[in-house]
Structure 1
Amino acid sequence: MKIVFGFLATIILIVSLAPFSYASDPSPLQDFCVALNASAVPVFVNGKFCKNPNMVVADDFYFSGLNKPGNTSNAVGSNVTAVNVDNLPGLNTLGISAVRIDYKPNGLNPPHTHPRATEILVVLEGTLFVGFVTSNPGNKLFTKYLNPGDVFVFPEGLIHFQLNVGKTNAIAFAGLSSQNPGVITIAKAVFGSEPTIDPNVLAMAFQVEMNMIDSLLQAQSD
């Protein structure tokens, strides 16, 4: 009987802990842990140091500016305004952040991943064509056209994108399940790394001629 009870207790413990094991960020152990700018401290932690709670003020939980359009005068025609632990210290340990994304007509938020967060996107203005690709070996593509009020979810770590297919500017807001979700833009990471990945590796990986790889490397460096 003790063996059976112990086995059941173990199963219950595993099930109860399962949701936490999949969380992007650790759960807080106190009301808040406002991030302290401690870049000069020669200690590295997985997150940010906590500000003295007695020194915390309302502005530590406040950010202003998501009402302002981002500058889309760039090569891809989009701009991401992020609100994360780096500019809103009260987010530290809370496992959430937000972004505003502006797109000019034909503007693209290029294929990228958030290694530490799931993203939920809400369209405010315009029409977006969005999608994500599943992991190996399937690499299945899921796409959807979104209009104002529509919502779409990009699972954690998967490559995804948004393209403005309308004739006017588009605006979207997104929430992410990490205080610091991170961004890996695929083209920039592969063709714009420092130092550069060996062109022979890239040519073999993409199964293209070396001159095409040279052109892509040059384009990223410009």
Structure 2
Amino acid sequence: MTRSVPKYLVPVALLALACTLVSTYDPSPLQDFCVAINSSTSTGLNTLGISLARIDFASYGLNPPHTHPRGIEIIVVAEGTLYGGFVTSNTDNRLFAKVLNKGDVFVFPVGLIHFQLNMGKTNAVAFASLSSQSPRVITIANAVFGSNPLINPDVLTKAFQVDENVVNYLQKQFWSDNNN
């Protein structure tokens, strides 16, 4: 005797699989909160599933193109004027950018390349909130031109359609740690 599978069972199984995959992206913390007490001069809360940062920009300073593979970033400009934007991926590589003044808010979607540039002669300050306690950051130039070992210049000359001297020059620049 054969039994037929109810028609509703397949969609329910697919939905359960999709929910499982989504929930494994950035798991919930194992505890409600954890007070950091490693130092007598600083305290904070961990395991809340968010990150916060203050970004101080020098005159015409740049937060270079980078991505956060595990978190959405929201910035609020506290002082100065910033030019911020992000580029869509796997579509038309469209730039969404805006000049941001004091009090303005801008959202950078998870995983998309984005940047901020101080547009003024004075310092600027922004506060960033990220939707993950471990959003990671990958600075594009550091990853591409500062890899260890270096990416073969033939790959980069073809990818960026530039002369090999340009690639060699960029690979010789000082590139800071990209693992923060």
The TM-score normalised by the length of structure 2 is: 0.81
- Residue 194 (structure 1) aligned to one of 126, 131, 148: 148
Higher relative contact order (CA 8 A, sep 6+): 2
Quote the Cα distance in structure 2 between the aligned partners of 1:15 and 1:123.
40
Q: Which runs of 5+ in 1 are unaligned?
A: 35-57, 66-86
Residue of structure 2 equivalent to 1:123: 77
**SS of the residue 1:220 aligns to:** coil
Quote the Cα distance in structure 2 between the aligned partners of 1:161 and 1:149.
18
CA positional deviation for 1:108: 0.5
Q: How does 1:161-200 map to 2 (within 5 A)?
A: 161-200=115-154
Residue of structure 2 equivalent to 1:27: 28
CA positional deviation for 1:177: 1.0
Quote the Cα distance in structure 2 between the aligned partners of 1:17 and 1:202.
39
- Residue 53 (structure 2) aligned to one of 53, 76, 99: 99
**SS of the residue 2:136 aligns to:** coil
Quote the Cα distance in structure 2 between the aligned partners of 1:167 and 1:124.
16
**SS of the residue 1:101 aligns to:** strand
**SS of the residue 1:208 aligns to:** coil
Q: Name the % identity.
A: 55
Q: How does 1:7-46 map to 2 (within 5 A)?
A: 10=12, 14=16, 17=19, 21=22, 24-32=25-33, 34=34
Q: Which runs of 5+ in 2 are unaligned?
A: none
Quote the Cα distance in structure 2 between the aligned partners of 1:120 and 1:221.
26
- Is this contact kept in 1: 2:146–2:171, CA < 8 A? yes
- Is this contact kept in 2: 1:111–1:161, CA < 8 A? yes
Q: In the alignment, is residue 143 of structure 1 matched against residue 97 of structure 2?
A: yes
Residue of structure 1 equivalent to 2:62: 108
Amino acid across the alignment from 1:26? P
Amino acid across the alignment from 2:88? T
Quote the Cα distance in structure 2 between the aligned partners of 1:22 and 1:131.
28
Per residue, is there more helix in 1 or in 2? 1
Quote the Cα distance in structure 2 between the aligned partners of 1:29 and 1:23.
14
Amino acid across the alignment from 2:6? I
Amino acid across the alignment from 2:22? S
Quote the Cα distance in structure 1 between the aligned partners of 2:18 and 2:146.
43
Amino acid across the alignment from 1:204? K
The runs of at least 4 aligned residues of structure 1 exceeding 6 Å deviation read 61-65
The TM-score normalised by the length of structure 1 is: 0.67
Count how many residue pairs are aligned between Structure 1 and Structure 2. Answer: 172
Quote the Cα distance in structure 1 between the aligned partners of 2:119 and 2:17.
44
CA positional deviation for 1:31: 2.8
